[in-house]
Structure 1
Amino acid sequence: MKITEVEPILLRGTAAYGAGASGAEATDNGDWQLLIRVATDEGLTGWSDAETLAPAAVSIIAGEGMATVGFQTLGSLLVGEDPLDVERLWDKLYVGSAYYGRRGIAMHCISALDNCLWSIRAQAAGMPLAELLGGRRRDKVMAYASTLFRSTPEGMIEAANGYIDKGYRAVKFGWGVFGQDPGRDRELVAAARQALGPDRYLMVDPGWYPTVTPNRMQPRSRADNEKLCQWLGDYDVRWVEDFIHPENFDEYAAVRAASPVPVAAGEQVSTVWEFARFIESGCVDVIQPDLTRCGGLTVAKQVAQLANRVGIDLVPHSWLTHLLTGYSLQLIATLPRAHFVEFNVSQSPLTAGIAPTSLTLDETGCITIPAGVGIGIEVDTQFVAAHRVA
């Protein structure tokens, strides 16, 4: 089998990121979305989404490369290769883009391509992806509703009650207005806890660059981060997430050591080498690789081994389309311990339309992990055709 085509597909939407004052649902990135399609000469196709600067990513995959090793486009490195040789191709992509990549947009693209190759490999084997990743240990996992902070306590209560009505037993509120007014921050968290009650999980994602004005970024100091964790402990928060600059490993370790609340992070960490340093430095209680940023499933498998070795939990970051949900569920199926899957309830019309899914909650707030061939999530190709741009 050979790879015949590597196609970045740029989609355009009209929705704006954000949340309001009421309990009405928030909206994720609804303006641009990148999909990647890898096709083979035997008719098998892998799809993946990618959360990155989408217009620039198109050039990295299918633009004009250079002859020198390290400056080549990712698509040119894959065409003609055997898609089943996934790990070797990861190395080829990493080395082939080393002079402009190694992290950032190039790694996001490598992640999506790697996911596509794993999907093709599972299809070729005629089995669920989890079987190739190490074997299926569970059939379902609890889903947490992942959304943005509303700007009023009343909106928080309304939103939380809506998720309860839908059957969620865990909710994560993040970003939005959080960080602009410390007093309001506490009111919003208190309102969420009040509505969810003592028997449901509440997670908080404060963001790591809270904004006072739209274009003025003000990261918190270490003292502020420690204070944040202290008062979040008053509300029985399951974890506080990704609230420190992603390259400040020392601060993560110091704040985690002082925090009464478990610390979760890792969605912006990439490559197994960086994850090893992050985990071994004692930065987190819950590691959160994003399969469209970390280096794909090839890296996430290794991160799972690192996490298991030191006894911390792994919950993938999966706030994008349900393609990412599907890949994350297949990885979760293989983990020695699995507490949650992140379920993006804030999808815009653009992200929701790409991979509509029948994934639903059962009476315990859990989602069944697809058991069909591949990842169990299909792309709506007609929707993609209607929303793609040249």
Structure 2
Amino acid sequence: MRIRDVTPFLLRGTERYGSGATGTEATDQGDWLLLIRVRTTEGGQAWADVETLAPVAARVVRGDGMGAMGFRTLEELLVGREFEDPAELWDELYIGSVYYGRRGVAMQALSAIDNCLWALRAQRDGVELADLLGGRRRDRIPAYASTLFRGTPEGNAEAARAYRERGFRGVKFGWGGFGVDAARDAEILAAITEALGDVALMVDPGWYLDEDGRPRLRTPAEEDAMLALLAEHRPTWVEDIVHPEQFERYAELRRDHPALRFAAGEQQATRWELGRLLETGGLHYLQPDLSRCGGLTVARGLVEPAVERGVQVVTHSWLTDLLHGYSLSLLATLPSAPWVEFNVAQSELSRGVVATRLALESDGTVLVPQAMPEVDETFVHRHAVQL
């Protein structure tokens, strides 16, 4: 296959990230969204989404590169290239952008491109993506609703009941100011656990706090108090509460809070960082985000070391059904796949990019798609801004 073009589509919306005081659904990043399309000279095309600072990442893909290697745009590195194995191009993209990249928006854009290359290879070979990634082991995966904490106990209880009634097997509440006021947190957790009944609860308190628009880390005392409170409610896991550069902290938390299980990985990128996170021994669940970690090439290489350590891989997928589709395809290949994250807080942009949305089945699972969700190109062009 030969790559014809790599095109970023920067979409503009009118909604903003956040949640309210009632059970009304929260909203993911609805102000900007970046999609990337890769086409081949043979007529194939594939799309992927990117959770990143979209206006910047768009220029990383298609912008003004420089003459020296290491300062090229990702499009410059790819157009005209032939490839068979998507992993062949990963190191070239990494090295070609190394002086401004390695992590952050460059790696996130690289991740989306990598996902597209895998989808293109599956198309060319006439096979399902899951089969290309190692072989489908299952047709459906239990889903947990992924959303934000609401501002009041009543609002959180209302939301929890709604997810339970829709049939989700688990619900993850995150961020939304949780972990600031211990008394309010206790009321919120009590309301949620009562409303959920036997539905699993996951909690993502966030690793920093937003206080009047200014970020800060929790103090060790605040962190320990929050974890002691969470331990009373026995969540399935507590997610991503450590500064992303403090890998070894998870091992300390696992030792100091043995009643809790910890999940992390969405903040890390590349096989080196995620491998280092695994090696700490502090995690029960590893959560690579396919739109951030380096794509399927990186994530599929983590499966064997995770299994060897007894760590479950549950991809982080807080974005569109494109990311859900890539995640489901990978999860279908794993020896065990207890959960798929299903973003119920999709904005107009996140909902609108696919022509037919993935749906929760009556048994609380989501089917592994045989093909990636089709992109609604009319919607994309209507919301795209000129680069």
TM category, shorter: over 0.9
Q: Does the 8 Å contact 2:179/2:226 carry over to 1?
A: no
What does the per-residue CA deviation read over 1:213-258, in whole Å, with 9 as the maximum and x for residues that have no partner? 222x221133432332222111121100011111111222211222
Q: CA deviation at 1:358?
A: 4.1
Q: Does the 8 Å contact 1:72/1:97 carry over to 2?
A: yes
What does the per-residue CA deviation read over 1:280-318, in whole Å, with 9 as the maximum and x for residues that have no partner? 111311000000000000000011122112111010000
Counterpart Cα distance in 1 of 2:30 and 2:316: 18
Counterpart Cα distance in 2 of 1:145 and 1:339: 14
Q: Does the 8 Å contact 2:321/2:357 carry over to 1?
A: no
Normalized against structure 2, the TM-score is what? 0.97
Are 1:201 and 2:184 counterparts? no
* Residue aligning to 1:87: 87
Q: Does the 8 Å contact 1:51/1:320 carry over to 2?
A: yes
Q: Supply the AA of the counterpart residue of 1:25.
A: E
Q: Supply the AA of the counterpart residue of 1:379.
A: V
Counterpart Cα distance in 2 of 1:99 and 1:245: 24
Counterpart Cα distance in 2 of 1:299 and 1:251: 23
* Residue aligning to 1:386: 382
What does the per-residue CA deviation read over 1:247-276, in whole Å, with 9 as the maximum and x for residues that have no partner? 111222211222211000100111101111
Counterpart Cα distance in 2 of 1:114 and 1:100: 18
* Residue aligning to 1:114: 114
Q: Supply the AA of the counterpart residue of 1:388.
A: A
* Residue aligning to 1:160: 160
Q: CA deviation at 1:50?
A: 0.3
Q: Which runs of 5+ in 2 are unaligned?
A: none
Q: Does the 8 Å contact 1:230/1:261 carry over to 2?
A: no
Q: CA deviation at 1:345?
A: 0.3
Counterpart Cα distance in 2 of 1:222 and 1:263: 17
What does the per-residue CA deviation read over 1:338-372, in whole Å, with 9 as the maximum and x for residues that have no partner? 10000000000111101243422233211111124
Q: Supply the AA of the counterpart residue of 2:220.
A: R
* Range with greater deviation from structure 2 (226-235 or 159-168): 226-235
Q: Supply the AA of the counterpart residue of 1:143.
A: A
* Residue aligning to 1:377: 373
Q: Report the 3-state secondary structure (helix = DSSP H, G, I; strand = E; otherwise coil) of the residue aligned with 1:57.
A: helix
Q: Does the 8 Å contact 1:180/1:211 carry over to 2?
A: no
Q: Does the 8 Å contact 1:23/1:159 carry over to 2?
A: yes
Counterpart Cα distance in 2 of 1:140 and 1:85: 27
* Residue aligning to 1:138: 138
* Residue aligning to 1:311: 310
Q: CA deviation at 1:66?
A: 1.1
Are 1:222 and 2:220 counterparts? yes
* Residue aligning to 1:16: 16
Q: Supply the AA of the counterpart residue of 1:227.
A: A
* Residue aligning to 1:263: 262
* Residue aligning to 1:333: 332
Q: Does the 8 Å contact 1:84/1:117 carry over to 2?
A: no
Q: Supply the AA of the counterpart residue of 1:64.
A: D
Counterpart Cα distance in 1 of 2:292 and 2:241: 18
* Residue aligning to 1:320: 319
Q: Report the 3-state secondary structure (helix = DSSP H, G, I; strand = E; otherwise coil) of the residue aligned with 1:257.
A: helix
Q: Does the 8 Å contact 1:111/1:297 carry over to 2?
A: yes
Q: Supply the AA of the counterpart residue of 1:61.
A: V
* Range with greater deviation from structure 2 (218-227 or 230-239): 218-227
Q: Does the 8 Å contact 2:321/2:358 carry over to 1?
A: no
Q: How many matched pairs?
A: 385
Q: CA deviation at 1:49?
A: 0.3
Q: How do residues 210-289 of structure 1 correspond to structure 2 at under 5 angstroms? A: 210-215=209-214, 217-259=215-257, 260-289=259-288
Q: Report the 3-state secondary structure (helix = DSSP H, G, I; strand = E; otherwise coil) of the residue aligned with 1:172.
A: strand
Q: Does the 8 Å contact 1:3/1:40 carry over to 2?
A: yes
Runs of at least 4 residues off by over 6 Å: none
* Range with greater deviation from structure 2 (271-280 or 251-260): 251-260
Counterpart Cα distance in 2 of 1:160 and 1:340: 18
Q: Does the 8 Å contact 1:7/1:36 carry over to 2?
A: yes
Q: CA deviation at 1:83?
A: 4.2
RMSD: 1.2
Counterpart Cα distance in 2 of 1:97 and 1:276: 22
Q: Which runs of 5+ in 1 are unaligned?
A: none
Q: CA deviation at 1:153?
A: 0.6
Q: Report the 3-state secondary structure (helix = DSSP H, G, I; strand = E; otherwise coil) of the residue aligned with 2:225.
A: helix
Normalized against structure 1, the TM-score is what? 0.96
Q: Does the 8 Å contact 1:225/1:255 carry over to 2?
A: no
Q: Does the 8 Å contact 2:251/2:282 carry over to 1?
A: yes
Q: CA deviation at 1:84?
A: 2.9
* Residue aligning to 1:77: 77
What does the per-residue CA deviation read over 1:2-21, in whole Å, with 9 as the maximum and x for residues that have no partner? 11111011000000111000
* Residue aligning to 2:34: 34
* Range with greater deviation from structure 2 (27-36 or 276-285): 276-285
* Range with greater deviation from structure 2 (82-91 or 156-165): 82-91
What does the per-residue CA deviation read over 1:141-183, in whole Å, with 9 as the maximum and x for residues that have no partner? 1000000000001001110111112111210000112123121
* Range with greater deviation from structure 2 (110-119 or 359-368): 359-368
What does the per-residue CA deviation read over 1:96-117, in whole Å, with 9 as the maximum and x for residues that have no partner? 0111111111100110100000
